[in-house]
Amino acid sequence: MPHTPSEPAPAAPVAGTAPVRPAAVRRQVTVPMRFPDGYATSARVFTFDGLADGREHLALGLGDWRRSLTRSANGGRPVLVRPHSECLTGDVFGSQRCDCGPQLREAVERISEAGGFLLYLRQEGRGIGLYAKLDAYALQDTGLDTYEANVALGHGEDERDYTTAAQMLLALGARRVALLSNNPDKAEQLGRLGVHVESRVPTGVHVSAANVRYLATKATHSAHTLDLPMVD
Ligand SMILES: [Zn+2]
């Protein structure tokens, strides 16, 4: 989205205040997917040129995403989108310390049904990286919560940035979206970056004995809209 003429173009975009630089679809390829529980679908995987941080983020077009884009552009229902931040331990190895794996699995099926996009964002450990996330796990084992551990390591509580998510959505033509997320910060950041978030669709809550404290901390600390009947 172009900045207004009265504003000087900033030398370096500042997250949350500057319009995003345009990115472009670089290539697209179809990838059949099968999850460990047997659920199978197919994704149109998009790569991009011009993403702000130079990392290899992906957009997965799921279900009838073309029809959803057309419908949204014509004023109908907005495109269903989940920005999912990479979590190697949860997404790939099935770690029970967080709920990323089940969130990813749920999002792929729901978006496949509705037609839309899953954005796979390469920002591990709330943006602090894989090794630092594992360091934070070690600190959590001494009693710190997930946010305190990040701060103890000299990081922000949450360093994720959705600039590249906005760039990908705008490059795909998805200007009006329904966000599949419990995180109000994602909707707020995308809105400031030029993506019109028309609604937020809550995801399910995937509680296990190992992640219940993590989920409770997320709910109380960062206004995640989680209903946790198992937690006092
Ligand atoms: Zn995770």
Told to judge if 158 belongs to the known catalytic residues of this protein, a careful annotator would answer: yes
- pLDDT tens-digit series, residues 195-214: 999 999 988 777 777 777 77
Distance 96 CA to ligand 1 centre (A): 8
pLDDT tens column, 135-155: 999 999 999 998 899 999 999
Which residues lie closer than 8 Å to 216 by C-beta, 6 or more apart? 228, 231
Residues with Cβ within 8 Å of residue 7, at least 6 apart in sequence: none
- Domain edges within the chain: 24-123+160-221
| Model confidence band, residue 222 (pLDDT cutoffs 50, 70, 90) | low
**Burial grade of 204 (CB within 10 A; 0-12, 13-18, 19 or more):** middle
How far is it, in rounded angstroms, from Cα 33 to Cα 76? Answer: 29
Neighbouring residues of 131: CB distance < 8 A, sequence distance ≥ 6: none
* Cross-strand partners of 59: 46, 119
Q: Which residues neighbour ligand 1 (ion) by CB within 5 Å?
A: 87, 90, 98, 100
Q: 232 C-alpha vs ligand 1 centroid, how far in Å?
A: 23
The CATH architecture of the domain made up of 24-123+160-221 is 3-Layer(aba) Sandwich (3.40)
Whether 160 is catalytic: yes
The one catalytic residue in 158, 161, 175, 232 is 158
Q: What distance in Å separates the CA atoms of residue 183 and residue 143, rounded to the nearest whole number? A: 24
pLDDT in tens, 72-95: 999 999 999 999 999 999 999 999
